[in-house]
């Protein structure tokens, strides 16, 4: 059959009371619908409406679309939930007739809270064109969206509410005092506003940890400094088309210099923490603690230097002023589409890197793969909440676990490298035994990564397919 309908946005749900006041028979249903396939011209939808289950296939765009619907069951619906490619839509639907035309008002819930729509279905395009809204409904209408693809249910499931404004400057002022707030960026805002906001949150957290480290030399504060510098650099690389290339290269280089100031201190701390758990190396661990404290003073001085402060001041100016730095080729593109495309590109790089790992691969290649999976983790932590379909959630969770395993492998490699340069009073036999223990740990971690490789590659493939629909 051909579905011919017109859709309007309502100011609120008050029209329901007017329908009832006019003694119009209204049926109410609680609806949950999910999508297992979405393309620009086709969709496959499963729906539960007050205990009745249906599967619908639609094709086409605009006023008239082909529609095929049939009944299904709860078991099929539950199975479809696991294969969903977008967030579920929940709404309360009120069905009624006006002058013989089947109509409904949908009140959306959850992430789409506040959206209320009126739809009317017709037997022909001529009827649709001649349809005039009754005055009591027209009084509640804010606009017609029949031809606006953003308001199709499939796109609401993918991108959320298209209306509304976003004040990046206001968000920046809020984050200045509360940088720990969870960002939930609207899908349709431009990449410039989105990345300014994300970068400013990271910058504010970085500043707080820099101040904390300056006053306490706390190892966790230094760790967080490193994380926020890496996040900034990763996002500058991943979203390169959003920024001015020359300026981005300048900040990439300088943030790299800041991060490298902390490398030796971090390596000594990791090695010291490891040795403290080993019998017979208490003296060496104590010596390393003294060295770590000396390094801490040097790192503190470098991070508080005029050169470092100038880099951070320049970066803050770019973020606060929303300069031309953010007006690259894709600066105005919707952030969710850019994130989906960038995330998918990162997945392809990661899959290639993972596929090249084997029992004979050197550790250095494992460490390069760790960087790729870490970039995906940063993307999922910052933007992952916008991709709520099951394949995404599973993959983000698996990637996080695997990245931690890669991190443990790198730490063990660092221990091995540092231990090779140790000159201590400990017996050589004891050092050899400790080296053997580290080698064993490295072998176990490499095996764990390689054993998990088929599953994570499969999960990454599913996520990649799911992301593609957000920007095609």
What's the pLDDT tens digit per position in 187-237? Answer: 888 899 999 999 999 999 999 999 999 999 888 999 999 999 999 999 999
> How far does Cα 466 stand from its chain's mean position?
13
pLDDT for res 424: 57
Instruction: Give the whole-angstrom CA distance, residue 209 versus residue 310.
Output: 17
Whether the predicted pLDDT of 395 surpasses 80: yes
Contact 456, 402 (CB under 8 A): yes
pLDDT band at 383 (very low <50, low <70, confident <90, very high): very high
Query: What's the predicted TM-score (pTM) here?
Result: 0.86
| Confidence check: pLDDT of 309 > 60 | yes
Q: In DSSP terms, which residues pair with 90 in a beta bridge?
A: 32
pLDDT confidence of residue 322: 72
pLDDT of 276 = 87
Residue 56: exposed, middle, or buried by beta-carbon count in 10 A (0-12, 13-18, 19+)?
middle
63 pLDDT higher than 80: no
Report the alpha-carbon distance of residue 368 to residue 363 in Å, rounded.
9
- DSSP alpha helix (H) spans, 87-218: 125-130, 135-138, 153-159, 168-177, 191-216
């Amino acid at each position: 059959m051909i579905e011919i309908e017109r859709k309007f946005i309502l100011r609120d749900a008050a029209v329901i009371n007017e329908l009832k006041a006019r003694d119009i028979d209204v049926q109410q249903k609680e609806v949950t619908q999910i999508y297992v396939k979405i393309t620009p011209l086709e969709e496959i939808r499963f729906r539960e409406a007050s205990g009745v289950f249906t599967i619908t296939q639609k094709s086409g765009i605009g006023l008239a679309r082909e529609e095929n619907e049939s009944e299904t069951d709860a078991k099929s619906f539950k199975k479809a939930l696991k294969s969903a490619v977008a967030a579920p839509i929940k709404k309360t639907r009120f069905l009624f007739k006006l002058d013989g035309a089947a109509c409904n008002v949908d009140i959306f819930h959850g992430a789409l809270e506040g959206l209320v729509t009126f739809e009317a279905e017709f037997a022909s395009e001529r009827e649709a064109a001649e349809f005039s809204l009754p005055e009591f409904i027209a009084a509640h209408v804010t606009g017609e969206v029949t031809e606006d693809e953003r308001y199709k249910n499939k796109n609401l499931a993918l991108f959320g509410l298209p209306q509304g404004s976003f004040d990046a400057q206001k968000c920046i002022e809020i984050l200045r005092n509360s940088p720990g707030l969870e960002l939930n960026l609207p899908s349709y805002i431009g990449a410039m506003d989105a990345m300014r906001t994300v970068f400013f949150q990271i910058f504010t957290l970085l500043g707080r940890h820099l101040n904390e480290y300056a006053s306490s030399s706390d190892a966790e504060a230094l760790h967080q400094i490193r994380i926020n510098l890496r996040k900034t650099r990763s996002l500058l690389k991943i979203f390169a088309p959003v920024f001015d290339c020359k300026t981005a290269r300048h900040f990439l280089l300088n943030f790299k210099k800041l991060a490298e100031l902390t490398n030796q201190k971090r390596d000594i701390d990791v090695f010291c923490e490891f040795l403290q758990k080993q019998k017979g190396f208490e003296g060496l661990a104590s010596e390393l603690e003294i060295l770590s404290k000396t390094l801490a003073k040097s790192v503190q001085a470098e991070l508080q230097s005029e050169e470092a402060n100038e880099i951070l001041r320049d970066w803050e100016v770019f973020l606060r002023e929303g300069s031309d730095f953010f007006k690259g080729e894709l600066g105005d593109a919707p952030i969710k589409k850019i994130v989906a495309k960038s995330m998918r590109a990162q997945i392809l790089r990661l899959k290639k890197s993972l596929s090249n790992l084997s029992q004979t691969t050197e550790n250095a290649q494992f460490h390069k793969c760790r960087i790729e999976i870490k970039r995906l983790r940063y993307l999922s932590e910052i933007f992952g909440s916008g991709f709520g379909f099951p394949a995404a959630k599973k993959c983000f969770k698996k990637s996080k676990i695997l990245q931690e395993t890669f991190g443990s492998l790198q730490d063990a490699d660092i221990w091995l490298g540092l231990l090779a340069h140790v000159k201590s009073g400990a017996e050589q036999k004891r050092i050899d035994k400790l080296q053997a223990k580290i080698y064993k740990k490295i072998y176990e971690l490499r095996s764990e990564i390689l054993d998990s490789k088929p599953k994570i590659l499969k999960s990454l493939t599913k996520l990649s397919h799911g992301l593609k629909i957000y920007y095609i």
